[in-house]
Amino acid sequence: MIEFETPKPIVMNNNALETVAINMMRPVSRYFDEHEHEIPWDYINFMHMAMRATGAGSLAPTEKKPKEGEEVKERPRIGYQTLAHMLEMLAWGDCGMYLVTPGGGLGAAAVEAAGTPEQKEHFLKRFRGDKPVFGAMAMTESQAGSDTSAIRTTAVLDTATNEWVLNGEKIFVTAGHKSLCESNGFIVVWATIDPSAGRAGMRSFVVEAGTPGVQVAKLEHKMGIRASDTASIVLQDACVPFDHMLGSVEIVREATTKGFKGAMATFDATRPLVAATGIGVARAALELLKQMLAEQGVEIRYGLPRQKMTAIEREVIDMEAMLRSSWLLVLKSVWMADNRIPNSKEASMAKLRAGDVVTKITQRAVELMGPLGYSREYLLEKWFRDAKITDIYEGTGQINRLIVARHVLGYTGRDLR
């Protein structure tokens, strides 16, 4: 039966997060935007404590293990749905700060998606410790963005020491600095074990903080989400133990695209979540816009035929329809993920629509407020800058269009390049 009732646990969770957003994020939002590379430790420490108190090491809700003798109730899985709501709310507070929430981030997501049970236990338990710990994913290189198969970072097995030796340079590593320099975290590095094999040579490696030969070379200065660090990382003969390659031993020598597919599977899970964060930013902008309009005495009348609306009414109502429908695309794709239904098409739809819509909404909000919108006195201009990244990271709008088009047309990557 088609239903749109938000589950109670999600509502309660979100009420709590709204308080966090209002009290711990919004008041310092402007400060961390204007002091790039300073770290919002108050928020980080608070979130770490709050998450520890609930037994979770990250924002991702953990499934409770039944006690002995306890009857296992068949409950609907709502993990991704919960996460989408949480991230939307935190990004509504401040998207840059949300990105520095401790707990593993994309690094942990990669371990979850591709690691063996032993690897998951070994690498993920650090996020449940006393201190906040970060994780990151290192995929992009200066010559390899959307075309991830073009990466040049190499991993060579040193049979004498049974270690992988990594060499290369990664860029655009979100939270890379916090993972390696500010906590005992790790980054998941994508590298090739056979440069001639293309995608079949790709593997992922956990590189922990303190590994010799790993250096954060640079922190980027960005258009928005400035509270989040974006690092360049140089790997120079960085050695990691053999079992730091994610996945089972058998895939080491096989010419398989499993590694590449693992990365893509991670994206199916994370794309709707990234869309959710963009939607949080756009909701913030739309709410403030409506509030400012109301203060100016501009009423938005719902229910009029189009030819009777004012230009502002039409803009605002269009934005609301676009934002809500984008959110529903997110909800459907995470609902599919929770129910183990393949959602690659829907995840990409959610991501590309959100990328477009949140960019448009925040841009129009700035425009409609005229000189007030362009001023740094209000957060509208910041949200415009923050929102744009939604259309870029975790697969650009264009990459997601390719993915959706292949699904709709029944084409492979070879048919439609």
Partner 1 sequence: MYSFEPTEEQKMLVESINRFSLNDLRPKSHDADEENKLPPKLINKGWELGYLQASVPEEYGGFGERSAITGILAAEELAWGDLAGAMAILTPGLFATPVLLAGSEEQKQAFLPPIVEDVWQPYTAALIEPSFDFDPNDLRTTAVQDGDAYLLNGKKTYVPYAAEAAGMIVYARLGDQTQGFIVPPGVDGVEVGQRQKLLGIHALPLYPATFKDVRLPLENRLGGVNGHDFAPILDASRLALASLAVGLARAALEYSVDYSKDREAFGVKVAQKQAIAFMIAEMATEIEAVRLLNWEAAWMIDNSKPDASKEAYLALTGATDMVMMVTDRAVQILGGHGYIREHPVELWMRNARGIATLNGLAIV
Q: How buried is 288 (Cβ within 10 angstroms: 0-12 exposed, 13-18 middle, 19+ buried)? A: middle
Q: Closest separation between CB of residue 1 and partner 1, Å? A: 5
Name which position in 11, 304, 377, 413 contacts partner 1 (CB under 8 A): 304
Active-site annotation holds for 394: yes
Q: Confirm or reject binding of residue 279 to partner 1 (CB under 8 A).
A: no
Q: What is the dihedral of CA 104, 105, 111, 113, to 10 degrees?
A: 150
Q: Closest separation between CB of residue 2 and partner 1, Å? A: 5
Residues 173/205, Cβ–Cβ less than 8 Å: no
Name which position in 91, 114, 216, 329 contacts partner 1 (CB under 8 A): 329
Q: Which stretch binds partner 1 (CB under 8 A): 87-95, 174-182, 319-327, 375-383?
A: 319-327
Length of the chain measured in residues:
417
Residues 279/354, Cβ–Cβ less than 8 Å: yes
**Rounded distance, CA 29 to CA 42, Å?**
13
The backbone region for 213, taken as left when phi is positive above 0, alpha when psi lies in -120 to 50, beta otherwise, is left
Contact pattern from residue 372 through residue 401 relative to partner 1, giving x for each residue in contact according to CB under 8 A and a dash for the rest: --------------------------x-xx
What's CA 274's distance to the chain center, in Å? 5
Q: Confirm or reject binding of residue 340 to partner 1 (CB under 8 A).
A: no
Classified as helix, coil or strand, 236 is strand
Q: Confirm or reject binding of residue 331 to partner 1 (CB under 8 A).
A: yes
Written as six digits, the tokens of 132 are 């906040």
Looking at beta carbons only, is 49 or 321 nearer to partner 1?
321
Q: Which stretch binds partner 1 (CB under 8 A): 18-26, 35-43, 237-245, 318-326?
A: 318-326
Nearest to 344 by CA among 247, 256, 270, 260: 270
Please name the amino acid found at residue 368.
L
Q: Closest separation between CB of residue 95 and partner 1, Å? A: 22
Contact pattern from residue 69 through residue 98 relative to partner 1, giving x for each residue in contact according to CB under 8 A and a dash for the rest: -------x-x--x-----------------
Which positions lie near partner 1, rule CB under 8 A?
A: 1-7, 76, 78, 81, 302-308, 317-318, 320-322, 324-326, 328-329, 331-332, 335-336, 346, 349, 352-353, 398, 400-402, 404-406, 408-411, 415-417
Task: Supply the residues annotated as catalytic.
Answer: 394
